[in-house]
């Protein structure tokens, strides 16, 4: 869009000379006037020739007018430079001074040449004005200029009138009068010119004012122009943006149209589909309603059957409960028949590192009896000492962990049913106690403790079906040198054995960490921690594991909300210290050996006292028997697992162990009673 406004670099200036030009003109006029007056005065005293000279000058001037314009123009130019009058006159040649003063001025020198401006005589102001007016350089409508012309004309006329015909040379009086008249006329002329001069000055002031107003206007216009220019620029960029946006929107519209068409199409398809499905649903609703009616009828007939079945179910539940009771009673009876203190004997196999060592001679007479003799006896002619021992079960070296646990699981079942159970692993160092109780991770090699926990969790599900909920707690401790050590706590604390109730049927250990077990994995973690703690202690005391009793205590708390019954079974799995006899001098030196011997011997005494049904059972003579008191008394089932090394070098210790186990097996603790409490 092309602006109609003038270009931004347009400058509206009035040169400083313009302002000074007028006064120069005025000065020139004044000078001329003075000159004229002087001339006039002089002419009163001068001869007529002077007048003639003046006329001559005038005519010369007129004659000059007829000369070539080029010459006159040059003269004008020269005159203008010298005298401001011409310049001032030229300045006002424009029709509109306000607007075109400067351009006209700038062109003055060059444009005047071809227009044939007559030279303005500096001495004759009126002539200069006339000359300027006649040349067309001053086209101003200025009233002052016009007036000046008229005044000059009038003045000239008046002068002519007043002066009249020139008197003769000799008529001095007449000449004086003539000169006086001429002077009067010139005075009048001076007055008129002065008046004209004032008018011109006023006009100049007014022009100056309008010039400054116009300048302000021009500045304002300039600002407005630049503002509008900026606006135009910003509008242009907006138009560009809008054009782009319009194009983008057009594109989007096109895409939307396509999408709309596609959606409309799929909507139509969906509509048809919905209509089909609605019909289908309607049909199905009718069918459902029909089925509901049928069902309602069926329900009515079934309710009777359901009630009958519910009654039968209740009867069956009662029957199951009764059967469970009977099963438990039978199970317990079987256990009692098997004996409340049972002894199993396990002979471990020869391990690779013992390849060069001799083995004892062990004959397995049946699954409960074995016969043992030293290897050398088989080759000598000595009369063999009969070393035959019978136990509840004998496990030869090829027996697996699973074989042993099959028998043990019956006792775990008893613990779940609320009996206290104690399992001892007894035997000399290296006979396989730890292997039997803990074993190694893996289905084949894991020992009695992890298997017991797995069995408990498996059986718990069956018990849950009968309404029992179980909570399992576990603690691991060690009795070393007649001191209890918590194997689940890295901090060493002092522990005591206290009675849990006034009857003394249950005991607990002070400061002992008891961990709630929610999965077999959790118990395995506890077992690992206990092994780690035991190993740490072993670094302080050589062969520590062989010289301490390790006890894993698992407490099973069963709750039957329907029967309002709670049954608590305690399971103690004990890995006893090595039962070997140390040499006398060595034993005398080592306090721990004394304690081991003491506790193992006391275990024998307790069992014997139980066997003989003595009134006093010396449970408190050692920490071990004191701790295991509830599991050794009447209300318990005890399993002694005798571990025997097959090595010939261990024969004597094996014989001792077999004798000890045999004695225990013969101990009768009477009928045990189940721990039953009411909630
Ligand atoms: N039934 C078995 N089958 C295979 N290896 C066995 C068996 N019983 C024991 N062992 C191995 O015999 C070695 C000694 O067994 P273990 O450490 O269990 O004896 P221990 O009586 O616990 O000894 P300690 O009283 O010193 O702890 C171990 O290397 C063990 O792996």
322-350: average pLDDT: 79
Quick one: pLDDT band at residue 608, thresholds 50, 70, 90?
confident
C-alpha span between 187 and 151 (Å, rounded): 12
Distance 556 CA to ligand 1 centre (A): 29
- pLDDT, residue 139, reads 43
| Contacts of range 600-605, beta carbons closer than 8 Å, 24 or more positions apart | 600/576, 603/424, 603/576, 604/660, 604/663, 604/664
Give pLDDT tens digits for 367-416.
889 999 887 665 565 555 668 898 889 999 999 999 999 989 988 888 88
pLDDT(607) > 90? no
302-312: average pLDDT: 85
Of the ranges 55-69, 120-134, 186-200, the best mean pLDDT one: 186-200
Give pLDDT tens digits for 158-188.
555 555 677 888 888 888 989 999 999 999 9
- Number of Cβ within 10 Å of residue 604's Cβ equals 14
- pLDDT, residue 537, reads 52
Of the ranges 124-128, 243-247, 674-678, the best mean pLDDT one: 243-247
Best substitution site from 405, 426, 434 to test ligand 1's pocket, by max atoms within 8 Å of Cβ?
434
Please give the share of the chain, as a percent, with pLDDT higher than 70: 67
Ranking 195-209, 477-491, 523-537, 546-560 by mean pLDDT, the lowest is 523-537
Closest C-alpha residue for ligand 1 atom 10:
432
C-alpha span between 596 and 600 (Å, rounded): 6
pLDDT(47) > 50? no
- pLDDT, residue 541, reads 42
Distance 285 CA to ligand 1 centre (A): 74
Structure tokens at 414: 């008893």
**Is 431 flagged in the annotation as binding?**
yes
| Per-position DSSP letters for 293-313, written without gaps between them | HHHHHHHHHHHHHHHHHHHHH
Quick one: pLDDT band at residue 126, thresholds 50, 70, 90?
very low
Q: What angle do CA 137, 139, 143 make, to 5 degrees?
A: 130
- pLDDT, residue 215, reads 93
Of the ranges 54-68, 352-366, 371-385, the best mean pLDDT one: 352-366
Report whether 432 contacts 532 (CB < 8 A): no
Closest C-alpha residue for ligand 1 atom 27:
546
Distance 210 CA to ligand 1 centre (A): 128
- Closest atom of ligand 1 to CA, residue 427: 21
- pLDDT, residue 524, reads 86
SS3 content of the chain, % helix, strand, coil (to 5): 60, 15, 25
Best substitution site from 355, 424, 433, 435 to test ligand 1's pocket, by max atoms within 8 Å of Cβ?
435
Is the model more confident about 152 or about 608?
608
- pLDDT, residue 375, reads 72
C-alpha span between 465 and 461 (Å, rounded): 7
Closest C-alpha residue for ligand 1 atom 15:
432
In this structure, the chain runs to a length of 679
Distance 350 CA to ligand 1 centre (A): 10
Closest C-alpha residue for ligand 1 atom 11:
432
548-560: average pLDDT: 90
**Is 430 flagged in the annotation as binding?**
yes
Distance 483 CA to ligand 1 centre (A): 25
C-alpha span between 270 and 280 (Å, rounded): 15
Give pLDDT tens digits for 454-507.
999 888 888 888 888 889 999 999 998 888 999 998 888 888 888 877 766 678
Could you give phi then psi for residue 395, rounded to 5 degrees?
-110, 110
Q: Spell out which residues line ligand 1, taking CB within 6 angstroms.
A: 348-349, 351, 427, 429-435, 545-546, 578, 643
- Closest atom of ligand 1 to CA, residue 353: 29
Distance 348 CA to ligand 1 centre (A): 8
**Is 427 flagged in the annotation as binding?**
yes
Question: Mean pLDDT for the chain?
Answer: 74
Closest C-alpha residue for ligand 1 atom 8:
432
Closest C-alpha residue for ligand 1 atom 14:
430
Distance 81 CA to ligand 1 centre (A): 139
Quick one: pLDDT band at residue 276, thresholds 50, 70, 90?
very high
Quick one: pLDDT band at residue 433, thresholds 50, 70, 90?
very high
Distance 515 CA to ligand 1 centre (A): 28
- pLDDT, residue 255, reads 94
Distance 349 CA to ligand 1 centre (A): 9
Ranking 84-88, 286-290, 340-344, 636-640 by mean pLDDT, the lowest is 84-88
Whole-structure pTM value: 0.55
Ranking 107-111, 151-155, 554-558 by mean pLDDT, the lowest is 107-111
Closest C-alpha residue for ligand 1 atom 1:
348
Q: What angle do CA 75, 80, 84 make, to 5 degrees?
A: 150
Q: What angle do CA 647, 651, 656 make, to 5 degrees?
A: 135
pLDDT(57) > 70? no
Closest C-alpha residue for ligand 1 atom 16:
432
Ranking 167-181, 321-335, 430-444, 607-621 by mean pLDDT, the lowest is 321-335
Adjacent-strand bridge partners of 344:
393, 641
Quick one: pLDDT band at residue 150, thresholds 50, 70, 90?
low
Is the model more confident about 68 or about 500?
500
Quick one: pLDDT band at residue 299, thresholds 50, 70, 90?
confident
- Closest atom of ligand 1 to CA, residue 435: 18
- Closest atom of ligand 1 to CA, residue 399: 1
| Contacts of range 169-174, beta carbons closer than 8 Å, 24 or more positions apart | 169/47, 169/48
Best substitution site from 432, 480, 543 to test ligand 1's pocket, by max atoms within 8 Å of Cβ?
432
> ipTM of this model?
0.98
Distance 18 CA to ligand 1 centre (A): 132
- pLDDT, residue 326, reads 77
- pLDDT, residue 160, reads 53
- Closest atom of ligand 1 to CA, residue 397: 1
- pLDDT, residue 592, reads 67
Is the model more confident about 535 or about 678?
535
pLDDT(357) > 80? yes
Distance 587 CA to ligand 1 centre (A): 24
DSSP 8-class letter at 650: G
pLDDT(258) > 60? yes
Ranking 296-305, 333-342, 513-522 by mean pLDDT, the lowest is 333-342
Could you give phi then psi for residue 151, rounded to 5 degrees?
-60, -40
Ranking 139-153, 228-242, 374-388, 562-576 by mean pLDDT, the lowest is 139-153
Of the ranges 62-76, 305-319, 427-441, the best mean pLDDT one: 427-441
DSSP 8-class letter at 547: G
Closest C-alpha residue for ligand 1 atom 4:
349
Is the model more confident about 504 or about 9?
504
- Closest atom of ligand 1 to CA, residue 425: 21
């Amino acid at each position: 869009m092309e602006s109609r406004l003038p270009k931004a670099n347009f400058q509206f200036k009035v040169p400083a000379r313009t302002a000074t030009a007028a006064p120069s003109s005025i000065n020139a006029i004044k000078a001329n006037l003075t000159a004229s007056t002087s001339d006039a005065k002089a002419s009163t005293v001068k001869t007529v020739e002077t007048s003639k000279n003046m006329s001559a000058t005038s005519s010369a001037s007129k004659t000059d007018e007829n000369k070539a314009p080029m010459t006159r123009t040059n003269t004008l130019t020269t005159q203008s430079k010298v005298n401001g009058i011409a310049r001032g006159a030229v300045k006002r040649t424009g029709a509109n001074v306000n607007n075109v003063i400067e351009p006209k001025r700038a062109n003055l020198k060059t444009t005047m040449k071809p227009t044939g401006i007559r030279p303005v005589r500096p001495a004759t102001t009126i002539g200069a004005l006339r000359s300027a007016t006649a040349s067309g350089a001053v086209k101003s409508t200025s009233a002052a200029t016009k007036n000046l012309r008229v005044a000059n004309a009038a003045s000239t006329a008046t002068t002519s009138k007043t002066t009249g015909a020139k008197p003769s040379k000799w008529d001095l009086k007449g000449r004086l009068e003539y000169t006086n008249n001429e002077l009067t006329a010139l005075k009048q002329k001076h007055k008129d010119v002065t008046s004209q001069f004032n008018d011109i000055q006023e006009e100049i002031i007014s022009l100056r004012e309008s010039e400054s107003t116009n300048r302000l206007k021009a500045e304002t216009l300039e600002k407005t122009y630049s503002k509008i220019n900026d606006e135009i620029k910003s509008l242009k960029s907006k138009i560009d943006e809008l054009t782009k946006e319009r194009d983008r929107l057009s594109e989007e519209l096109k895409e939307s149209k396509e999408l709309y068409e596609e959606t409309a199409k799929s909507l139509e398809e969906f509509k048809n589909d919905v209509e089909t499905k609605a019909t289908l649903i309607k049909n199905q609703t009718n069918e459902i309603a029909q089925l509901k009616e049928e069902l309602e009828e069926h329900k009515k007939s079934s309710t009777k059957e359901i009630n009958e079945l519910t009654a039968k179910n209740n009867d069956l539940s009662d029957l199951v409960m009764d059967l469970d009771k009977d099963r438990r009673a039978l199970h317990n009876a079987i256990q009692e028949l098997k004996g409340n203190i049972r002894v199993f004997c396990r002979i471990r196999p020869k391990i690779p590192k013992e390849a060069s060592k001799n083995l004892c001679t062990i004959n397995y007479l049946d699954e409960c009896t074995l016969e043992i003799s030293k290897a050398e006896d088989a080759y000598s002619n000595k009369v063999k000492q009969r070393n035959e021992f019978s136990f509840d079960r004998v496990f030869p070296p090829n027996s697996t962990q699973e074989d042993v646990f099959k028998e043990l699981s019956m006792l775990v079942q008893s613990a779940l049913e609320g009996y206290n159970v104690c399992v001892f692993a007894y035997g000399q160092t290296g006979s396989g106690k730890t292997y039997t109780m803990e074993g190694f991770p893996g289905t084949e090699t894991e020992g009695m403790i992890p298997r017991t926990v797995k069995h408990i969790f498996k059986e718990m599900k069956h018990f849950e079906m009968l309404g029992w909920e179980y909570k399992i707690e576990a603690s691991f401790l060690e009795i070393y040198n007649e001191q209890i050590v918590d194997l689940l706590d890295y901090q060493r604390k002092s522990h005591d054995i206290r009675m849990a109730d006034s009857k003394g049927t249950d005991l607990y250990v002070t400061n002992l960490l008891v961990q709630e077990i929610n999965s077999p994995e959790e118990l395995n973690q506890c077992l690992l921690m206990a092994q780690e703690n035991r190993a740490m202690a072993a670094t302080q005391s050589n062969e520590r594991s062989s010289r301490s009793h390790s006890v894993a205590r698992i407490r099973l708390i069963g709750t039957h909300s329907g029967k309002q019954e709670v049954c608590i079974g305690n399971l103690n799995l004990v890995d006893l210290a090595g039962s070997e006899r140390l040499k006398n001098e060595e034993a005398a030196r080592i306090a721990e050996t004394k304690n081991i011997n003491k506790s193992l011997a006391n275990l024998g005494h307790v069992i014997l006292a139980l066997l003989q049904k003595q009134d006093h059972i010396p449970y408190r003579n050692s920490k071990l028997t004191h701790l295991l008191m509830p599991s050794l008394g009447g209300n318990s089932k005890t399993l002694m697992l005798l571990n025997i090394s097959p090595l010939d070098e261990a024969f004597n210790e094996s014989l001792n162990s077999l004798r000890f186990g045999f004695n225990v097996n013969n101990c009768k603790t009477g009928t045990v009673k189940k721990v039953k409490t009411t909630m």
